[in-house]
């Protein structure tokens, strides 16, 4: 190895060391800079939160009080009915506050939608529709949400009610009093019913009788099965009969009814699938084909002088005239009809499957979105096919 090669190796090593030092220094400087910037941003964010927190608290309190004041202006009958529905739904909110919130939304939404409609150049009829529809929609949504929450809470309670009654019966056979049997049956896995049983125990400890506490529980839950079971339980406690046997028979009857409901749901699957096919395939396809028919003939009549053809066919049985329906009008009409059909189809499916019309509320947004989306997709496909054929 010559001296020159040794010097070159030394230079190479030194240069690599220097390069590593430079890159390491640059990397550390960049990382420290980013860390300082991040810490500064976090500090600024914390300062902003601490400064705006009193304002946010004051604003939230003002909004809450405003909701309550707005809701207090409603008639007492409406507030009383809503309070009962809120209790049945298991919501821990004041009915006046709920009415105030919905009222604010029912005022703000029409204003926003009306502003967009005016900016987009909508007609007077459409502008009026944009005011009325969101206002009505806000209250309809409130009603549907309450019905959905009530039905779900009732269904969850009625589903576990046979197990609770069977457990109470077994506890009474083991020698417990009805109060102790109910208290032991209030397990956390029983959900809302366990909470209500615990409320019965608290009311009893506060001085109320067990009978009054059970009746108050039935008033907080919209369930005929629970009401009937509580009445039998109270009657059995008064008469001193074979209460455990009665509760066990009630539990067996409820399980039999639940099995029948499951069988009914299994046997009505074909009817529900037929309705889904009509909503998601049949109606969108028919409307898309009709829309293409209107587009094709509107295009043909726009390229042909209809007055000349009408004069030539004068005196005959056929009279040619342009279509009175425009493609834009028919598309709006089709979307509205599909949405309405999805709403009633959802109610019908819920009625067929469970026997309750409110069971189809959860299907409304899904079927509405899918029906309109499938219609637009089919319209795009058909428009691409027929548009290429006639060179639209």
Question: Span 156-163, mean pLDDT?
Answer: 86
Look up the pTM and report it.
0.69
Q: Does domain 155-266 have CATH number 1.20.81.30?
A: yes
Q: Residue 204 and residue 90: Cα distance in Å, rounded?
A: 21
Separation of first and last alpha carbons in the chain: 83
Task: Give pLDDT, residue 392.
Answer: 47
Domain with CATH 1.20.81.30 in the chain: 155-266
pLDDT grade for 375, boundaries at 50, 70 and 90: very high
Comparing 129-138, 293-302, 364-373, the range with the smallest average pLDDT is: 293-302
- pLDDT tens, residue by residue, 229-245: 888 878 877 776 677 88
Phi–psi pair at 2, nearest 5 degrees? -85, 170
- pLDDT tens, residue by residue, 252-294: 888 888 888 888 877 888 888 888 899 989 899 999 988 888 8
**Please, where are the H alpha helices in the chain?**
3-72, 76-89, 95-119, 124-173, 178-185, 192-205, 210-220, 224-239, 243-267, 269-277, 283-303, 306-312, 327-354, 363-390
Q: Which residue has the higher pLDDT, 125 or 291?
A: 291
User: Is pLDDT of 306 > 70?
Assistant: no
């Amino acid at each position: 190895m010559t001296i020159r090669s040794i010097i070159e190796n030394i230079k190479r090593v030194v240069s690599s060391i220097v390069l590593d030092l430079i890159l390491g220094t640059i990397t550390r400087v960049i990382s420290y800079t980013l860390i300082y910037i991040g810490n500064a941003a976090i500090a600024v964010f914390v300062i902003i939160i601490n400064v705006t927190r009193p304002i946010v608290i004051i604003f939230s309190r003002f909004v809450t009080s405003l909701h309550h004041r707005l809701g207090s202006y409603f008639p007492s009958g409406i507030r009383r009915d809503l309070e009962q529905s809120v209790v049945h739904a298991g919501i821990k909110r004041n009915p006046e506050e709920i009415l105030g919130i919905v009222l604010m939304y029912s005022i703000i939404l029409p204003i926003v939608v009306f502003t967009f409609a005016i900016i987009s150049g909508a007609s007077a009829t459409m502008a009026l529709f944009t005011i009325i529809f969101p206002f009505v929609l806000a209250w309809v949504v409130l009603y549907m949400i309450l019905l959905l929450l009530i039905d779900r809470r009732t269904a969850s309670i009625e589903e576990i009610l046979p197990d609770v009654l069977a457990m109470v019966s077994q506890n009474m056979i083991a020698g417990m009093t009805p109060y102790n049997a109910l208290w032991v049956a209030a397990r956390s896995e029983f959900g809302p019913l366990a909470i209500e049983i615990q409320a019965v125990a608290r009311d009893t400890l506060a001085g109320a009788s067990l009978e009054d506490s059970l009746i108050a529980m039935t008033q907080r839950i919209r369930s005929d099965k629970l009401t009937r079971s509580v009445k039998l339980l109270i009657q059995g406690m008064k008469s001193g009969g074979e209460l455990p046997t009665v509760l066990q028979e009630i539990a067996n009857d409820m399980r039999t009814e639940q099995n029948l409901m499951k069988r009914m749901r299994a046997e009505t699957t074909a009817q529900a699938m037929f309705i889904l096919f009509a909503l998601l395939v049949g109606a969108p396809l028919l409307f898309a084909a009709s829309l293409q028919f209107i587009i094709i003939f509107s295009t043909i009549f726009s390229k042909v002088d209809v007055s000349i053809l009408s004069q030539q066919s004068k005196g005959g049985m056929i009279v040619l005239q342009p279509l009175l329906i425009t493609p834009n009008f028919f598309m709006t009409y089709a979307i509205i009809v599909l949405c309405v059909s999805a709403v009633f189809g959802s109610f019908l499916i819920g009625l067929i499957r469970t026997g309750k019309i409110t069971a189809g509320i959860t299907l409304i947004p899904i079927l509405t979105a899918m029906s309109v989306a499938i219609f637009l997709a089919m319209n795009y496909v058909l428009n691409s096919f027929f548009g290429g054929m006639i060179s639209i």
